């Protein structure tokens, strides 16, 4: 909410000369104007496939091969994402921050037409990584998988600024929203599990 107040043109606290927004624009340029040919394709791939494609595959693999812990993790990630997609869209429309439009910036791919804050990519991948780190970690192998998922999520977040799609604060807002909402469902996971077994037993009878 604090970041929303700082970046939304619809709120009285917003100002183009705000030190926070100046730093945000400066940080955007530092990342976006220092492209490397070795990284460009990777960052484009991450921003195009590192959200829906990658995390749909992750959810399926966790559910099929992850045992009971993997199934619970996959379900909580799925519920979190299903809630966060419309929530993120609504938040974008309410905050109404425009996409980066700085002349010096170097856009590797065309920017989206919707508003910028918070980053939808950051919302989804951070939610998935947060749930995995908390729920899929009871063995060293599972923890290693969760850490790798968190690293992938971090690179996706960086890619959104690198390709020119978001300011750093957009990504920070997406991470906070994604982690915050997903932790709500992690917190009530026990209740959801009890409800599932109650329904399962009811259907048996």
Residue-by-residue DSSP string for 178-204: HHHHHHHHHHTHHHHHHHHHHHHHHHH
Interhelix angle 140-162/120-135, rounded to 10 degrees, is 170
Query: What would the pLDDT profile of 57-88 be if each residue is shown by its tens digit?
Result: 999 999 999 998 999 999 999 999 999 999 99
| Residue 163, C-beta contacts closer than 8 angstroms, at least 6 positions apart | 32, 43, 44, 47, 107, 108, 109
CA–CA separation, 58 and 128 (whole Å): 9
Q: Which 3 state secondary structure label does DSSP give 60?
A: helix
The phi and psi torsions of 138 (rounded to 5 degrees) equal -80, -5
pLDDT band at 201 (very low <50, low <70, confident <90, very high): low
Name the pTM for this structure. 0.88
SS3 120: helix
* Alpha helices (runs of H) in 100-139, residue ranges in sequence order: 120-135
Interval 126-171: pLDDT, tens: 999 999 999 999 899 999 999 999 999 999 999 999 988 899 999 9
* Axis-axis angle for helices 52-65, 37-49 (nearest 10): 60
């Amino acid at each position: 909410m604090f970041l929303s107040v700082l970046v939304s043109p619809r709120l009285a606290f917003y100002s183009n000369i705000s030190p926070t927004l100046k730093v945000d624009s400066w940080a955007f340029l530092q990342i976006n104007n220092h492209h490397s040919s070795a990284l460009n394709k990777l960052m484009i791939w991450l921003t195009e496939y590192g959200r829906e494609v990658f995390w749909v595959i992750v959810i399926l693999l966790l559910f099929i091969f992850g045992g009971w812990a993997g199934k619970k993790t996959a379900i909580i990630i799925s519920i979190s994402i299903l809630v966060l997609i419309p929530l993120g869209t609504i938040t974008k429309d309410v905050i109404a921050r425009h996409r980066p439009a700085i002349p010096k910036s170097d856009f590797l791919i065309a920017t989206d037409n919707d508003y910028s804050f918070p980053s939808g990519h950051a919302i989804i991948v951070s939610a998935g990584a947060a749930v995995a780190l908390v729920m899929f970690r009871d063995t060293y192998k599972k923890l290693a998988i969760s850490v790798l998922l968190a690293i992938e999520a971090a690179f996706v977040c960086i890619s959104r600024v690198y390709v020119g799609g978001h300011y750093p604060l957009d990504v920070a807002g997406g991470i906070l929203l994604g982690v915050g909402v997903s932790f709500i469902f992690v917190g009530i996971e026990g209740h959801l599990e009890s409800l599932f077994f109650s329904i399962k037993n009811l259907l048996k009878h």
